Structure 1
Amino acid sequence: MTKIAYLGPAGTYSEMAALRYLQLSHPDLEHDPSIMCPYPTIPQAINAAENGNVEIAIVPVENSIQGGVTMTLDSLWQSEALQIQQAIVLPIAHALITRAAILTDIKTVYSHPQGLAQCQLWLDCHLPTVQQIATDSTTDGLQRVAEDGTSAAIASQRAAELYNLPILQFPINDQPDNFTRFLVLGRNTSHRQGTHSSLAFSLKRNMPGALVKPLLVFADRHINLSRIESRPTKRSLGEYIFFIDIEAALPDANCCEALEELKTVTENLKILGSYAIT
């Protein structure tokens, strides 16, 4: 039976992405709770798939407002077995969940760092003096909300319904067009078809023009890069790993040529997967 790891507990946006994946790929399993496996952190969800404890891990990788999810990127670089099977884009609408009757009664707000950041302007305007506490997921603070009438959490409407908690304000995200891209990760390394592909590489030397050569590999072949992001290698200050998304399938002859040349101008190259975006 397929088991899916996601950032839990129930009610997170990652769970919503997992349910969307089931709806699209395994509608017969959509209402089977036994296949849903919540994990307290993103790295733990990814490691569960890496170690074969689950077949699939579904994790956030990029938000349209706050950019890349660093824990996901770092875990992808360290992974030896996982490939991106699919990408799922979900609209994100945050709710202020609290038992407080009015905003001025709220003293503390809990949410994932991404949730807090995506509502920062709203918080500065409406709750400028409250204490903001980061949690491992958007739903982690709901137990405190249930017990304390001066606490609030930023989470989904679904989370409020699951935990039977009232919503005081909705939506509160700063930008109405707020989307998060989730990755479906699995150990099936033969999956190389799709409209987009993701790669990661480190450079041989930190010197002027070092990044230009890898980018020219794609520019010379008219392969469009839809995203590029860097993360520190954690070896030395100023050394980076670069994550890129290209609008090409890995089996394409043009793409295969690009990858062969890319190997000659990078230190380490990882093929993260070729996939469709839904």
Structure 2
Amino acid sequence: MSEAQELEQLRQAIDSIDRQIQELINQRACCARQVAEVKEKYAALGETVVFYRPEREAQVLRNVMARNTGPLPNESMARLFREIMSQCLALEEPLNVAFLGPEGTFTQQAAVKHFGHAVCCHSQVSIADVFREVESGAANFGVVPVENSTEGVVTHTLDSFFDSSLQVCGEVTLRIHHHLMRKDPEQPIERIYSHAQSLGQCRRWLDQHYPGIERIALSSNAEAARRASLEPGSAAIAGEVAADLYQLVVCNANIEDRPDNTTRFLIVGRQATLSSGEDKTSIMVSSRNQPGALYQVLEPFHQAGISLTRIETRPARTGTWNYAFFIDFEGHCDDESIRPVLAQLQLVAADYKWLGSYPKAVL
């Protein structure tokens, strides 16, 4: 058999498999429509109906990765199913998602990574605007950055929870690669625009390559790219999406100081999330101003053997030199091992607020 004949046989096999895949995807889409019809029937009877279930989607993606036998990597297979699920959900009820904009930000990339490309994404000027969009019902969910592995916590996000009724419904992590870009690579650089967090994540590289150049912090990397596209002598630090969006040339790629630079984003919404089996819980606690106050807050977790994944301190709204602790830990508030810990915590804390229980990031 010749090379051409062998290749033709393989191509015919691929075509046959593609037809089967397409038929099965359409069968899944039909099931999604039937799910929507059932939910709409009960909604018409006055029952509360939830179209998007974060815990269910997390379970499906974990199952996809668990049964994967290769040669595609687990994450690649899960990403394919993420898009199938996104398109099927759009047949039930299209989701509106607010994100910290403008177009081309890493937060937008995180929103698409978590929800898939079938959602309707709406950019917002600030983190506070994202919260307001979701609180008003204009958006089903919001996506906001909460911490970076290099620069630490995003304080504006934590502070937004003080006065908000929104709950954390999910999380997504994104590897962050920063690129230095500009309109005309031949022109000397007079100023470099970027978000303050990104400037911090590239500090050592900038000190080495552009020590005397002015660094200007803006509201987002996408805004930095937009400015660089308009102002001669300007450069921006942003992601690849922003470079494509504003037609900039990437002069230096992957300039972040740490190759594992990662940002964690929170999904905020108005609905509580059921247990998925692998969850996190976020709470906010204000301690009484007395010796051993922090120990009293942390002791219940230690006694129950619960792993804390993050603790941050922010000035409280209740007086000068009073502080609130933002705590993330493993488990769901409905777990039998978690409920008594939260009950004990409410007894020793001056103020307590449950922010949400949600699935651990899958992708």
TM-score, normalised to structure 1, is: 0.92
The letter for the 2-side match of 1:16 is Q
Q: Confirm whether residue 61 of structure 1 aligns to residue 154 of structure 2.
A: no
Q: Kindly state the Cα deviation for residue 143 of structure 1 after the two structures are TM-superposed.
A: 2.4
Q: Kindly state the Cα deviation for residue 63 of structure 1 after the two structures are TM-superposed.
A: 0.5
> Is the partner of 2:349 in helix, strand or coil?
coil
Contact 2:100/2:126, CA 8 A, preserved across alignment: yes
Q: Confirm whether residue 10 of structure 1 aligns to residue 10 of structure 2.
A: no
**Superposition pairs of residues 165-244 of structure 1, within 5 angstroms:** 165-191=248-274, 193=276, 194-203=278-287, 205-244=288-327
Match of 1:26 in 2: none
The letter for the 2-side match of 1:74 is D
> Is the partner of 2:285 in helix, strand or coil?
strand
Contact 2:272/2:357, CA 8 A, preserved across alignment: no
> Is the partner of 2:312 in helix, strand or coil?
strand
Contact 1:41/1:137, CA 8 A, preserved across alignment: no
Task: Tell me how far apart the structure 1 counterparts of residues 154 and 135 of structure 2 sit (CA, whole Å).
Answer: 19
Task: Tell me how far apart the structure 2 counterparts of residues 190 and 141 of structure 1 sit (CA, whole Å).
Answer: 36
Q: Which has the higher strand share?
A: 1
> Which structure would you say has the larger RCO, counting Cα contacts within 8 Å and 6 or more residues apart?
1
Q: Kindly state the Cα deviation for residue 99 of structure 1 after the two structures are TM-superposed.
A: 2.4
Task: Tell me how far apart the structure 2 counterparts of residues 237 and 176 of structure 1 sit (CA, whole Å).
Answer: 39
Structure 1: stretches of 5+ with no match in the other structure: 24-29
Contact 1:111/1:134, CA 8 A, preserved across alignment: yes
> Is the partner of 1:211 in helix, strand or coil?
helix
2:125 to 35, 40, 46: 40
TM-score, normalised to structure 2, is: 0.71
Task: Tell me how far apart the structure 2 counterparts of residues 239 and 110 of structure 1 sit (CA, whole Å).
Answer: 36
Match of 1:52 in 2: 137
RMSD: 1.5
Q: Confirm whether residue 95 of structure 1 aligns to residue 188 of structure 2.
A: no
Q: Kindly state the Cα deviation for residue 275 of structure 1 after the two structures are TM-superposed.
A: 1.3
1:262 to 345, 355, 358: 345
Contact 2:192/2:213, CA 8 A, preserved across alignment: yes
Task: Tell me how far apart the structure 2 counterparts of residues 68 and 128 of structure 1 sit (CA, whole Å).
Answer: 26
The letter for the 2-side match of 1:89 is T
Match of 2:50 in 1: none
Task: Tell me how far apart the structure 1 counterparts of residues 132 and 154 of structure 2 sit (CA, whole Å).
Answer: 16
> Which structure has the greater CA radius of gyration?
2
Q: Kindly state the Cα deviation for residue 207 of structure 1 after the two structures are TM-superposed.
A: 2.0
**Superposition pairs of residues 114-125 of structure 1, within 5 angstroms:** 114-125=197-208
Q: Which has the higher helix share?
A: 2
Q: Kindly state the Cα deviation for residue 11 of structure 1 after the two structures are TM-superposed.
A: 0.8
Match of 2:80 in 1: none
Structure 2: stretches of 5+ with no match in the other structure: 1-93
